Amino acid sequence: MPNLPTLNATVSQLLAPGKGLLAADESFGTIKARFDAIGVASTEETRRDYREFLFRSREPMSRYVSGVILFDETIWQDASDGTPLVDLITAAGAVPGIKVDHGTVPLAGFEGESITEGLDGLAQRLDAYRERGARFAKWRAVIDMDDGLPTHGAIRANAQALARYAALCQAHDIVPIVEPEVLMDADPDISRREEVTRFVLQTTFQELFEQRVALEGMILKPNMVLTVSPGADETAIQDVAQRTVRVLKATVPAAVPGIAFLSGGQPDAAATAHLDAMNRMGPLPWTLTFSYGRALQTTAQRAWAGLADNVARAQGAFAHRARMNSLASRGEWTLALETAA
């Protein structure tokens, strides 16, 4: 049986009021693309320097960030002065976490669909990650929408993998973040986006139940039900919030303590606005917060541009975005706060 007191203690830290997660778990390919956009070579040293200045950003890390999701390379790296990067995170009062999936591959027999790999050897890797300091983990399942997609078979296969991952995490006293992400770019019909997201979450929780995952000791990381132009105006923002909360109410048991949304490539302020709108919708059975990557980091990356002289300015940009999302997690954000920055 899962050690619920240990899991609950970590969950409480991760869901601290006014805080959310920094998703700094970009794969080698993803971080290279982000660095290419700012003219920085992606090397072990530049990746370390970039993440080090984020983790040394005192105000946002201590006030607005509850946990940091790391990539395998990062969890083993030391800062420029020899301090393990995980120690920088814990010194700021945040919890280190780790992405444990190995990415997606084509799902045999299902044209155009994928499955996430990484279950082989996961138990041993979890032990090593926990010894290094990780107290939670993340696994991302990718559900593609297109003509005739997703199929029930692909949804179920990914949900089963998510559930096995979650059960293994809890057996090793690590909180699982369960991330079923529906990719919506190929289908502009928001009603279908809502329908597919609902079915994916229903299937995921059925598999979590079958694998005896303790819902009280996990966090859900879903996509929002987005319009084609997210955050375009107040009507669109409210539509996203209402559809997303409607799906959550229909599928996510109240035993789940918290939901930390992924930003899904939204513009920074749009991701903030949608989270804020949902938190203004009245009492909900779960904490709603953020687990953002690009929506927390893009402006900081641009300000940094690989130059040590730009670190202070980049840390300021990171602090601003973290503060905006902290306010949104409380339902206290306004657009005026963005424009006043």
Tell me if 208 sits within 8 A of 163, measured CB to CB: yes
**Residue pointed to by tokens 């670190």:** 311
Q: How far apart are CA 219 and CA 9, in angstroms?
A: 13
Catalytic residue among 179, 181, 194, 207: 179
Q: How far apart are CA 56 and CA 87, in angstroms?
A: 10
Token duo for residue 94: 């945040």
Give yes or no: 221 in active site: yes
Q: How far apart are CA 129 and CA 132, in angstroms?
A: 5
The three-class DSSP label of residue 139 is strand
Tell me if 182 sits within 8 A of 158, measured CB to CB: no
Q: How far is CA 213 from the centre of its chain?
A: 20
State how far the alpha carbon of 294 is from the alpha carbons of 23, 78, 265, in Å: 8, 23, 7
Q: How far apart are CA 289 and CA 276, in angstroms?
A: 9
**Residue pointed to by tokens 């006043």:** 340
Catalytic residue among 19, 99, 138, 221: 221
Q: How far apart are CA 314 and CA 199, in angstroms?
A: 40
Q: What is the DSSP string of 213-247?
A: --GGG-EE-PPP---SSTTSSHHHHHHHHHHHHHH
Q: How far apart are CA 215 and CA 205, in angstroms?
A: 9
Element (H, E) at 259: strand 258-261
Token duo for residue 192: 């279908």
> Which residues form the catalytic set?
179, 221
